């Protein structure tokens, strides 16, 4: 399930969900071809993983929330970027060409 994160409350709800299940946050730049390629990999992953809660943030359109994620999770901002969170803490992250459907599957299904 993919939810676009638009407000700080959306992020807080997703992070709260990470206390009972791993979640994925995907940061996407709508102006970057590398991000578009990673976004397509993210969509491929999510099409077969409906049970995983995923938050999508469009970084150019919502820079303050993207910055809040960096601050809250302690992971330097990159775009594109994928972050797996368990119990409110990041356990895996990748950026740019390292974001593939296979890498996301491995990160979320062990």
Residue 41's CATH number: 3.40.30.10
C-alpha–C-alpha distance, residues 48 and 69, integer Å: 26
* Domain limits for position 57: 2-109
C-alpha–C-alpha distance, residues 53 and 85, integer Å: 10
Q: Supply the pLDDT for residue 109.
A: 82
Q: Supply the pLDDT for residue 88.
A: 95
Q: Supply the pLDDT for residue 110.
A: 59
What is the number of other CB atoms lying within 10 angstroms of the CB of residue 110? 6
Q: Supply the pLDDT for residue 33.
A: 96
What are the structure tokens assigned to 24, written together? 């994925």
C-alpha–C-alpha distance, residues 10 and 95, integer Å: 22
Domain count along the chain: 1
Residue 90 contacts residue 74 (beta carbons within 8 Å): yes
pLDDT (tens, 9 = 90+) of the chain, 110 residues, equals 999 999 999 999 999 999 999 999 999 999 999 999 999 999 999 999 989 999 999 999 999 999 999 999 999 999 999 999 999 999 999 999 999 999 999 999 85
Q: Supply the pLDDT for residue 97.
A: 97
Can you state the angle between helices 63-73 and 8-17, rounded to 10 degrees? 40
What are the structure tokens assigned to 18, written together? 């990470």
């Amino acid at each position: 399930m993919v939810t676009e994160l638009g407000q700080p409350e959306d992020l807080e709800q997703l992070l709260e969900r990470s206390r009972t299940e791993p979640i994925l946050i995907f940061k996407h730049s709508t102006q970057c071809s590398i991000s578009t390629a990673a976004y397509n990999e993210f969509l491929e992953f999510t099409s077969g993983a409906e049970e995983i809660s995923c938050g999508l943030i469009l970084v150019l359109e919502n820079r303050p929330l993207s910055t809040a994620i960096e601050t809250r999770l302690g992971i330097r901002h990159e775009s594109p970027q994928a972050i797996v969170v368990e119990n409110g803490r990041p356990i895996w992250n990748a950026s740019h060409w390292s974001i593939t459907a296979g890498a996301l599957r491995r990160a979320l299904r062990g």
